[in-house]
Amino acid sequence: MALHPTFSLAVRQFLNRKFANRWIGRGTQRPNHLWPATSPDLNPVDFFLWGQLKSLVYATPIQNEEDLRNRIIDVRERIRNTPGIFERVRQSMERRVEACIMAAGGHFQQLL
């Protein structure tokens, strides 16, 4: 069974030190920051945006924390300025919701 990266105690301790009360995930100390819904079949952010962001940010090795921050900002702007990108995400979400309804809330990946 694979664990989510933020489930590791060492990772959670680092996140608590570095981003005290400002990160969202399992193990956060704030009760109002429970782990978000983990349904990639319905969440376009999980399904597309984070994967796209990660692949562009880590296309080449990161030099340091400042380089990482700058890349995230640059890639965010590149994604934001890509014509039609969010319309495609919206259309994908709509297809997934319709498939979920057709499957009466059951498994629907095979319908996509």
Regarding pTM above 0.85, the answer is no
Pick the more confident residue, 22 or 91: 91
Q: Say what the pLDDT of residue 26 is.
A: 63
Measured CA to CA, the distance from residue 99 to residue 110 in angstroms comes to: 9
Measured CA to CA, the distance from residue 18 to residue 39 in angstroms comes to: 28
Please list, in sequence order, all residues whose beta carbon lies within 8 angstroms of the beta carbon of residue 33, skipping any fewer than 6 positions away: 23, 24, 25
Instruction: Please report which confidence band the pLDDT of residue 1 belongs to, taking 50, 70 and 90 as the band edges.
Output: very low
Q: Which of 71, 46, 38 shows the shortest CA–CA distance to 56? A: 71
| pLDDT tens-digit map of 6-63 | 567 888 788 788 887 777 666 555 555 555 555 555 567 667 788 888 899 999 999 9
